[in-house]
Structure 1
Amino acid sequence: MNFFRDLNQFMMAGARAHARWELEMSTNILKSRKRLLVLGLLMIPVFLGGYAFADAIGQALPSFIGGKSAYGPSHYTNLIFGASVLVGLCAGLITGCIGAGGGFIIAPALMSAGVKGILAVGTDLFHIFAKAIMGSVLHRKLGNISVSLAVTFLIGAVVGTTVGGYINRSIYDANPVLSDMFITSVYVIILGFLAYYAMSDYLKSRSKKVVVAEGATRIAEEIPAMGKRLQSINIPPMLTFDESVTPGGRRISALFLVISGFIVGMAAAIMGVGGGFLTFPMFVYGLGVSSMTTVGTDIFQIVFTAGYAAIGQYAIYGFIFYTLAMGMLLGSLIGIQIGSIVTKVVPGTTIRGFYAITVSAGFLNRVCALPDKLVKMGYISLSQDVIKIADMIGNAGFFIIITTFAVWVFYCFFSNLSVLRPKEVN
């Protein structure tokens, strides 16, 4: 039981760390005219007509990086683009308002709308990469990055991303239904853990009337037990880091960095996430790296891991839905800012409650979608009526909950404008 509790805390800490990264990237983009100009240029192909643009690019590309056939899925309709903006907006509201990554609802939302799982994963990665490139603040974070840790970690991350991308593509090539079932199953497990812990945390906070605020995710500089054990193992080559935190610094085997990078890269490529939700808790809890060094290294790795996964493992094989990615990017930038402002007028307990509900909605959606995949694969036998009812419950429950949450956030925002405005004016 303690193992599952620790695992949930581990993933929640990672989700919150990734949310802080999302908020920083969004703020950097919206406060810079140059970055907004880049965003506008990226949107031009969408407004000119995503299909025509993708077709023209595909004709011009040489066959060895995909050619026209690879970019075929990037079709365009106004409805698809509008839906992607709403998906990104809701994910952004969750991230900004709740302080935990809302990206976990993106793949379930896209798959519920009929997008193939592998296409949803690749598109989400591309959206994260675009945000990372435009909002990157590496020049301000270089002092917090241990170059030896970052480079060694990326060696493992590149290998892991390659393996994860290969697994997803191989399963899809073998059977598209099996691919959807595999990705759905991964999300059921991850969202199930997050939903259980989030709901438990919310109920405890209500009964005890104690705000377990963001301090719960801020780790003291004392090395956790696992970090001490791993740092005590002497397997050459040994890397030295955190010299500014501990006299003489701390040392750890490069092997553990490569393994950590491999796990993060594979998870990122399979789930369509940046990997940041795993890097933070893995570095702090598992490897005993200081939170300051972890933050800088986390930003560094997301740019390269998401970029390599999006382009090297999905884009050149045709699994990027450009129109959806740009719509989600636009929506998330707005949602994150509104959500972060609303936190100033909403009790912390309420925020945790909504996070528990939204993550549970994603879990419900994927659990209800799983029977259809299992039946199509011949693993179980159910009537079509039962499958339709399950799908209806999963889809209706998911979109009703997410829509209700979005309406609630906007209500809080507009009804408190008089309170928020003076605080927002410098």
Structure 2
Amino acid sequence: MFKRFISGFWTVGEMMTAGVKAEAKWEYEMGKVILGRRKKMLFLALLPVILGVGVELAMAGTLPDTIGGSKAYMPTFVTSQMFIGSIFVGLMAGLITGCIGAGGGYVLTPALMSIGVRGIMSVGTDQFHLFAKAIMGTVIHKKLGNVNLWMAVWFVVGSLTGVTVGATLNRAVYAKSPALSDAFISLVYVVILGILGAYSLYDWIRLSRTKSVQSTKEATTAFAKWLQGIPLKPRVTFDQDIVAGGRSISIYPLIIVGFIVGMVASVMGVGGGFLTFPIFVYGLGVSTFTTVGTDILQIIFTTGYSSVAQYAIYGYVFYSICMGMLLGSLVGVQLGALVTKYVKGSQIRAFYALTILAGFVNRICALPGTLTNAGYLKVNTATGNIINQVGNVVFFVLVAIFSVWILIAFFQNAGKARAAEMSSPVSVER
């Protein structure tokens, strides 16, 4: 029984990691498109932020301890410190995404919550940041050719429904108690980051000993075969290029899976790829080839509907912070990707595991204080604050060290590469 549990945990962790890697690749390619072809659009998107900083510098003001909810400030109100901080947060996430090849979005919501932004507004802002990146990077991506259209349609039908339920739940919990809302979002992060962190740490230890490279397995499980065998109509055919005649499945499992992914994504403020991969590949028996395209497509619709219809219109998106995060992440993901040419893979894996576990520690340390404020736990206020501060320090110190290490590695090695290029015979001849 214990062996089966460990095996199942390993499988889930492996496929969740594959999901965040696929989203990282998408973010990197979107960033290249935006920075390479849409500089004017990026400037226009950042213009309100620049104006907001100017207004703040001209008119001194003070902010409350927490930001979010019905008393949220207008999007143009942002201090220069907040704007610079949001760029730094986005830069950290981008560096992690580009260097590790796995989505660094898991640091965004915890980071915003740690600096005093309410959990629900952190989620809405993070979702809007993903949506802005998607539409600015051209939504119809060339790899959407991998998508089985009808599979994607039914999946999105479920995801939009799930988003509605998840966001409604988030708003309802916030209406009952802002502290309980923060605790609820933190608890979800604790579970997800706990699984990802444990797997990534174990994976790093295993690979550092064996020096082997693991690849994601293609698998059609017994459960997937059983699910595909359910004779319910209408049905969708897929993977015709992989299996002779293709496979088929009823639309209802697709809708249910979309519902689950959409609900969790809207609660956490993420893209949802870490769930799409394990459920599609192991639960539905879909190839990773088709899964990648479907996941890219669902991110666009899920984050768009979630950020605009479920969070923005209720005042839960902090646009100025969002654009600062977008700017930082666009630059960070490109720098991070370049660093991979100079840094050992084992070092990158180690830091990846540490940053995920740092996010886990950050959120689990926030629970005692938020649950106490919500009336579900009795912890001394001073003790709760100390535990929360420990989580914040661990999180920001580890993520900052990782970010600085990446930047140092980039500038040192980029300089050496440039010097070698200039001293090469070809360069001298020119």
Q: TM-score, normalised by structure 2?
A: 0.89
- For residue 37 of structure 1, what is the aligned residue in structure 2? 40
Q: Structure 2 matches for 1:306-325, cutoff 5 A?
A: 306-325=303-322
* Structure 1 contact 183–270 (Cα < 8 Å) conserved: yes
Instruction: Rate the CA distance shift 1:395–1:256 in 2: closer, same or farther, 3 A.
Output: same
- For residue 81 of structure 2, what is the aligned residue in structure 1? 79
Equivalent of 1:10 in 2, 15, 18: 15
Equivalent of 1:113 in 112, 115, 125: 115
Do residues 104 (structure 1) and 106 (structure 2) align?
yes
Query: Displacement, 1:336?
Result: 0.5
Q: Which amino acid aligns with 2:18?
A: A
Q: Which amino acid aligns with 1:28?
A: V
Equivalent of 1:172 in 161, 171, 174: 174
SS of the equivalent of 2:379 reads coil
Q: Structure 2 matches for 1:89-168, cutoff 5 A?
A: 89-136=91-138, 138=140, 140-168=142-170
Q: Percent identity?
A: 51
Cα offsets for 1:362-414 (capped at 9, x unmatched): 11111111110121122222223322221221111111111111110011101
- For residue 368 of structure 2, what is the aligned residue in structure 1? 371
Distance 2:359 2:326 in 1: 20
SS of the equivalent of 1:138 reads coil
Distance 2:96 2:144 in 1: 29
* Structure 1 contact 73–320 (Cα < 8 Å) conserved: no
Distance 1:71 1:370 in 2: 23
Distance 2:27 2:144 in 1: 18
Do residues 408 (structure 1) and 405 (structure 2) align?
yes
Q: Which amino acid aligns with 1:312?
A: A
Instruction: Rate the CA distance shift 1:156–1:70 in 2: closer, same or farther, 3 A.
Output: farther
Cα offsets for 1:4-59 (capped at 9, x unmatched): 22222232121112111111211221221xx2211111101110117979xxxxxx
Q: Which amino acid aligns with 1:190?
A: I
Distance 2:173 2:278 in 1: 29
Distance 2:128 2:389 in 1: 29
SS of the equivalent of 1:235 reads coil
Q: Which amino acid aligns with 1:114?
A: G
Distance 2:416 2:221 in 1: 42
Distance 1:419 1:282 in 2: 44
Query: Displacement, 1:296?
Result: 1.8
* Structure 2 contact 162–259 (Cα < 8 Å) conserved: yes
Q: Give structure 1 stretches of 5+ with no counterpart.
A: 54-67
- For residue 198 of structure 1, what is the aligned residue in structure 2? 200
SS of the equivalent of 2:155 reads helix
Q: Give structure 2 stretches of 5+ with no counterpart.
A: 57-68, 422-430
Distance 1:6 1:185 in 2: 22
Do residues 297 (structure 1) and 302 (structure 2) align?
no
Instruction: Rate the CA distance shift 1:399–1:299 in 2: closer, same or farther, 3 A.
Output: same
Distance 1:385 1:37 in 2: 49
Distance 2:26 2:279 in 1: 16
- For residue 234 of structure 2, what is the aligned residue in structure 1? 237
Instruction: Rate the CA distance shift 1:24–1:281 in 2: closer, same or farther, 3 A.
Output: farther
- For residue 342 of structure 1, what is the aligned residue in structure 2? 339
Q: Which amino acid aligns with 2:50?
A: F
Distance 1:123 1:287 in 2: 32
Q: Which amino acid aligns with 1:304?
A: F
SS of the equivalent of 1:289 reads coil
Query: Displacement, 1:359?
Result: 0.5
* Structure 2 contact 23–296 (Cα < 8 Å) conserved: no
Query: Displacement, 1:70?
Result: 8.3
Equivalent of 2:30 in 7, 25, 50: 25
Query: Displacement, 1:143?
Result: 2.8
Distance 1:359 1:139 in 2: 29
Distance 1:126 1:163 in 2: 18
SS of the equivalent of 2:253 reads helix
SS of the equivalent of 2:385 reads helix
SS of the equivalent of 1:416 reads helix
Do residues 46 (structure 1) and 49 (structure 2) align?
yes
Query: Displacement, 1:418?
Result: 3.8
SS of the equivalent of 2:230 reads coil
* Structure 1 range deviating more: 138-147 or 73-82: 138-147
SS of the equivalent of 2:248 reads strand
What CA RMSD, in Å, does the superposition of the two structures yield over aligned residues?
Answer: 2.0
Distance 2:185 2:54 in 1: 27
Cα offsets for 1:59-104 (capped at 9, x unmatched): xxxxxxxxx9787453311111110000000001111111111100
Q: Which amino acid aligns with 2:318?
A: F
Q: Which amino acid aligns with 1:20?
A: K
Query: Displacement, 1:284?
Result: 2.1
- For residue 209 of structure 1, what is the aligned residue in structure 2? 211
* Structure 1 contact 152–254 (Cα < 8 Å) conserved: yes
Instruction: Rate the CA distance shift 1:190–1:82 in 2: closer, same or farther, 3 A.
Output: same
- For residue 56 of structure 1, what is the aligned residue in structure 2? none
- For residue 349 of structure 2, what is the aligned residue in structure 1? 352
Instruction: Rate the CA distance shift 1:52–1:320 in 2: closer, same or farther, 3 A.
Output: farther
Cα offsets for 1:326-352 (capped at 9, x unmatched): 000000011101111111111111111
Q: TM-score, normalised by structure 1?
A: 0.90
